Amino acid sequence: MGRAILLLALLSGWTAAQQLPPPLSQQISSLHEQVQSLAQGGQLAAAHGATAVMRRYGERMARDFTRFDQELLNRAGDLGMRLPASAVPPGFSTGGSDFDRSFLAWAATRTQQLLNALRTGQRAAGPLAGLAGSLLPLVEVHSQLNLALRQPGAPV
Amino acid sequence: MARSAYLRPRRSRQSVGAVLGGGAIAGVIAGAVSLAVGMAWTSGLGLGPELIPRAAAAGLAGPTALLGGWGTLVAGWLLALLGAAVLGLIYAAIGWRVRSFSTALLYGILFAIVAWAVLKRWVLPSLDPVLSAYIPLLGAAWFWLHVLYGVVLSLSAPVRRGLAGAQPAPAQWELPKAG
């Protein structure tokens, strides 16, 4: 009987641990890493894009996600956290004629990951929810831009 | 006795055209000033000077306006100035009786704050969701740009007085008061 109660207690504790969201510091670090990666990818596209539209898209990404990262750093500072300046190199080559296509595919995946992370952050109660909710529409705009550029006949 | 001794011209009332025209012109002037300061501000924030006009153009063309060329930029400026003119028109239509500069200034700032809140909460999310999405990144700048708009809009009274003065109003005469 005692063993059964202990087992039940352990099981319920494990289940509760599975349902808990990751700690706030981990969530902010993860967002910071994703946003930095998108900003760096944007800088690459601004420099290596084959068309003017692609270079403008890269510049827009770099500017918006750098500012977004600044908001995250400010929020982390308010919470007494220090975020590492982690350089995450985008996973595609910068040369060749296929750059635009491979960049758009990479940016689509990364933007979707960031959207998912922000939606999770928005649902979780806490200091991150407001920030995630306010910045979510901007990432949705970037997702729509990416989708428009991947359409057949888009000027890229 | 000469006619002027008995009759003197009454101050002509400002015509509807002068009031609304003055409001719209002051709105365009205030919009141009706010837009110029806004472009400098977004540049300082690292978002680039072209963000506000491009995001304004997105109200018509959708998110791809963010990547458009000079045509998109000009369309964005024009749309922003049109919105500013409409706000100026509303300002003048509501407050056409305001005459003193200090009252006009206070009224202009209050009007701009109400406009900022209404635009942010209801108008932009439905009419221009792209510009609305950028507001959190602009932070307090978006609010202060509207206050600046309200301050410059206070020029509406002198502008409409100027317009009214420029139009030859029909002479209206009244008898002098006794004594």
Nearest to B47 among A52, A56, A64 (CB): A64
> Residue B92: which of B167, B24, B13, B166 has the closest Cα?
B24
Nearest CA distance, B24 vs chain A (angstrom): 32
- How far, in Å, CA of A103 to CA of A42, rounded? 9
At B105, list the tokens.
């200034």
Please name the helix (run of DSSP H) or strand (run of DSSP E) that holds residue B8, with its range, or none: strand B8-9
Beta-carbon contacts of A74 under 8 Å, excluding residues fewer than 6 positions away, are none
Residue linked to tokens 């020029």: B155
SS (H, E, C) B75-99: HHHHHHHHHHHHHHHHHHHHCCCCC
CB A72 within 8 A of CB B57: no
The pLDDT score that the predictor gives to residue B43 is 97
Nearest to A145 among B46, B63, B69 (CB): B63
Nearest CA distance, B130 vs chain A (angstrom): 7
Residues of A with CB under 8 A from a CB of B: 52-53, 56-57, 59-60, 63-64, 66-68, 70-71, 134-135, 137-138, 140-141, 144-145, 148
Region of B160 on the Ramachandran plot (φ > 0 left; ψ -120 to 50 alpha; else beta): alpha
Q: What number of residues does chain A have?
A: 156
Nearest CA distance, B84 vs chain A (angstrom): 24
Question: Which stretches within B45-174 are classed as H helix?
Answer: 51-61, 70-94, 101-118, 124-127, 129-138, 140-153, 156-166
Residue linked to tokens 């690459």: A44
Residues in A touching B47 (Cβ below 8 Å):
63-64, 67
The predicted-structure confidence for B105-116, as pLDDT tens digits, reads as follows 999 999 999 999
The pLDDT score that the predictor gives to residue A134 is 93
- How far, in Å, CA of A50 to CA of A29, rounded? 33
- How far, in Å, CA of B104 to CA of B159, rounded? 12
The predicted-structure confidence for A96-152, as pLDDT tens digits, reads as follows 568 899 999 999 999 999 999 999 999 887 788 999 999 999 999 999 999 999 998
> Residue B154: which of B18, B41, B22, B36 has the closest Cα?
B22
User: What's the CATH class of domain A23-149?
Assistant: mainly alpha
Residues in A touching B133 (Cβ below 8 Å):
137-138, 140-141
Residues in A touching B137 (Cβ below 8 Å):
64, 67-68, 71, 135, 138
The structure's pTM equals 0.82
Q: Is the pLDDT of residue B4 over 80?
A: no
Residue linked to tokens 């209404």: B118
Residues in A touching B48 (Cβ below 8 Å):
59-60, 63
Nearest to A67 among B129, B133, B137 (CB): B137
- Distance between alpha carbon A50 and the CA centroid of its chain, in Å? 25
Nearest to A137 among B45, B64, B132 (CB): B132
Amino acid, res. B55: A
**For A132, nearest residue in chain B (alpha carbons):** B136
Asked if the Cβ–Cβ distance from A67 to B46 is below 8 Å, we say yes
When pLDDT is averaged across residues A65-92 and rounded to a whole number, the result is 83
At B160, list the tokens.
């409409």
Residue B170 — very low, low, confident or very high, per pLDDT cuts 50/70/90? Answer: low
ipTM of the complex model: 0.82
Q: For chain B, what is the mean pLDDT?
A: 86
Query: Largest alpha-carbon pair distance within chain B?
Result: 75
- Residue B6, judged by CB atoms within 10 A of its CB (0-12, 13-18, 19+), counts as exposed
**Distance of CA A43 to CAs B49, B100, B134, B173, Å?**
17, 52, 20, 72
CB A38 within 8 A of CB A106: no
The predicted-structure confidence for A6-45, as pLDDT tens digits, reads as follows 666 666 655 544 555 568 888 899 999 999 999 999 999 9
Nearest CA distance, B63 vs chain A (angstrom): 6
Residue B1 — very low, low, confident or very high, per pLDDT cuts 50/70/90? Answer: very low
Asked if the Cβ–Cβ distance from A141 to B45 is below 8 Å, we say no
